[in-house]
Structure 1
Amino acid sequence: MGPIGSRWHRAYEHERGAQRDMTFFSTRLLLTCAAIGVGGGLVFGIVGYLHPVVLVTVPILYGALIGVYFFPGVVAQSLLRRGGVALLTGTIAGLAASAVDPANLWRHVGVGVLIGALQELPFALSGYRYWRGWVFGLAAVVAGLVMGAFVLVLVGPDHFAPLAETVYIALFVLSPLLVTWLARRVSDGIDSTGAARGIQGEIDRRRRGAGATPLAMVAA
């Protein structure tokens, strides 16, 4: 077997090994997502009691509360670097919130699922092969804008004066960005313990010189 054939063989065997590892560690992967989701869900439930208070007293600051919903998904994505973990963890977090705030279970589940799905999108564009920090920031900004616009439509575009509306939307972006930064620091701390070793994907799994998606090509 020539040098080129040997390299392809090693790459093929490496990929097969990674697939076997993921099959073997699938239970660990699910349990890790569950642990992160339950922890995030308890925070969801506690913050849930602040929602009506803020909406009645200082509604312009409502966007500051949305950031907590980004925490479990970012921890899971940054730690595991696998497709679907943000959506799974966000769903679990929403369900776990019922232990603290059962009256608003479906609100927590809905927001957890929606934000988890939005967090998945930028990484899906690279086929879940590229996990650099700037993509997490992009996901936070996009998801924050979507959530801010969605809530603004619900309360009515004329609910705030133009300046107040700008502050309102800005908080929907700044809060997720801050929480994303914090969640990545938490993920780094967990990663340093080696607790997730064996179930993590690589930060950059793109095949050099071929098959790069537009998002990955821009990042190169």
Structure 2
Amino acid sequence: MTAAPLLVLALMGAWLLPPFTALALLRRPGVGLLTSVIAGLVTVPLTPFGWMGLFQGVLWGVLCEIPFALTRYRRWPTALFLGTGLVIAVIGLLPTYTTYGLDQMSPLALTLAVGLTLGSCVLAAYLSVLIARALGRTGIAPAPRVRATDAPA
């Protein structure tokens, strides 16, 4: 059956919404990881995977933080969020290749699975930036300081 794995892969980006939104809104070290851990804890009693939800939350949170840590939390361009979402999608596809039976799918279904995963994670990254901007306009968080490296060229 191809539909169930495709649906799961299409929703993979949902795991990235909390950490990316927190990072885009607050622009502070560790907020992506903290938010993702909290999201993982919420899933523990609500899914059949139990504590693996926390593990997955930690994993996604760390992966979301790495690119911003490499820039020493000084750069917050949308392209960095999108690129991070793309890399996380590729990383997420590796263990699911055999787990979800991608290796046994037809070439068309495999292409669709990869496309849905990549699209889902990149879309989640972009939506996170949009959500953070909208929340920032409401005054829910302090306006981030604009540094010369953040200013458009």
TM-score (structure 2 length as normaliser)? 0.85
Alignment-mate amino acid for residue 72 of structure 1: P
2:36 to 53, 76, 90: 90
Cα-to-partner distance string for 1:149-199 (whole Å, 9 max, x where unaligned): 2211434553212332222112111001112222222211211122211xx
Tell me which structure has the larger Cα radius of gyration: 1
Q: Deviations over 1:41-92 (max 9, x none)?
A: xxxxxxxxxxxxxx77432332111111011011100001112111111001
**Is 2:20 the partner of 1:74?**
yes
Match of 1:166 in 2: 111
How many residue pairs align between the two structures?
Answer: 152
Give the superposition deviation at 1:140: 0.4
Provide the TM-score with structure 1 as the length reference: 0.61
1:128 aligns with 2:73: yes
Distance of 1:192 and 1:110 partners within structure 2: 33
Match of 2:136 in 1: 191
Is 1:139 the equivalent of 2:84? yes
- When residues 58 and 155 of structure 1 are mapped into structure 2, their CA distance, relative to the original with a 3 A threshold, is closer
- Where structure 1 has 5 or more consecutive residues not aligned to the other structure, the ranges are 1-54, 207-215
Listed as ranges, the matches of 1:31-42 within 5 Å are: none
Which structure is higher in helix share? 1
When the two chains are superposed, the root-mean-square deviation of aligned CA atoms in Å is 2.5
* Counterpart code for 2:13: G
Residue pair 2:63, 2:88 contacting (<8 A) in 1 also: yes
Give % identity. 33
